[in-house]
C-alpha cells in the first residue's frame, strides 16, 4: 500500500484536526472544507481503502462506523433536524482520499438527487 493518507496523519497526530470523537477503532473530525454547517468525517483507524475493497474481515469495523455516526449525531444534536451520511467510492463517486470515510452533513436542507 502507498504512503500514509492525510487521514492516517490526522490519526497519528502529525497534522491537526478538530477531533470530536475517538476510540480504538475510529476517529471523527470536522471536514476542513465543509459542505454544510456541520460536516464531519468518521474514519476507521485501520486503512480500508474504500467500501468496494472491504471484506468480511472488516464487518465489525464497518458496523462500528455506523454506530459512531449515531453517537456523534446525538453528540452534535442533529438527530431531530436530520442529517445525511455519504460514502464516496471511486472516480464517479467523487472520492478524493483513498481511506474509507463516512461524511456526516447537517444543519441545512439536503437535496435529492445529489450532484
Q: Alpha carbon of 90 to those of 33, 48, 74: distances in Å?
A: 19, 13, 29
Our finding on whether 36 is near ligand AMP (CB under 6 A) is: no
- Of 26-34, 65-73, 77-85, 105-113, the segment contacting ligand AMP by CB under 6 A is 26-34
**Residue 59 three-state SS:** helix
Q: Is 101 a catalytic residue?
A: yes
User: What character string, x for contact with ligand AMP (CB under 6 A) and - otherwise, covers 73-102?
Assistant: ---------------x-----xxxx-----
In terms of Cα–Cα distance, which of 81, 80, 66, 76 is closest to 26?
Answer: 66
**Rounded distance between C-alpha atoms, residue 113 and residue 79, angstroms:** 22
Q: Which of 8, 22, 31, 58 binds ligand AMP (CB under 6 A)?
A: 31
Q: Report, in Å, the least distance between residue 54 CB and ligand AMP.
A: 15
Amino acid at each position: 500500500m502507498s504512503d500514509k493518507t492525510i487521514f492516517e496523519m490526522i490519526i497519528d497526530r502529525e497534522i491537526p484536526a478538530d477531533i470530536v470523537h475517538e476510540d480504538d477503532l475510529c476517529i471523527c473530525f470536522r471536514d476542513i472544507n465543509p459542505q454544510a454547517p456541520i460536516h464531519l468525517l468518521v474514519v476507521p483507524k485501520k486503512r480500508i481503502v474504500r467500501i468496494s475493497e472491504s471484506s468480511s474481515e472488516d464487518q465489525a469495523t464497518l458496523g462500528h462506523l455506523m454506530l459512531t455516526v449515531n453517537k456523534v449525531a446525538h453528540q452534535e444534536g442533529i438527530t431531530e433536524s436530520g442529517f445525511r451520511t455519504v460514502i464516496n467510492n471511486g472516480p464517479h463517486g467523487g472520492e478524493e482520499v483513498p481511506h474509507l470515510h463516512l461524511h456526516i452533513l447537517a444543519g441545512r436542507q439536503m437535496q435529492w438527487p445529489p450532484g
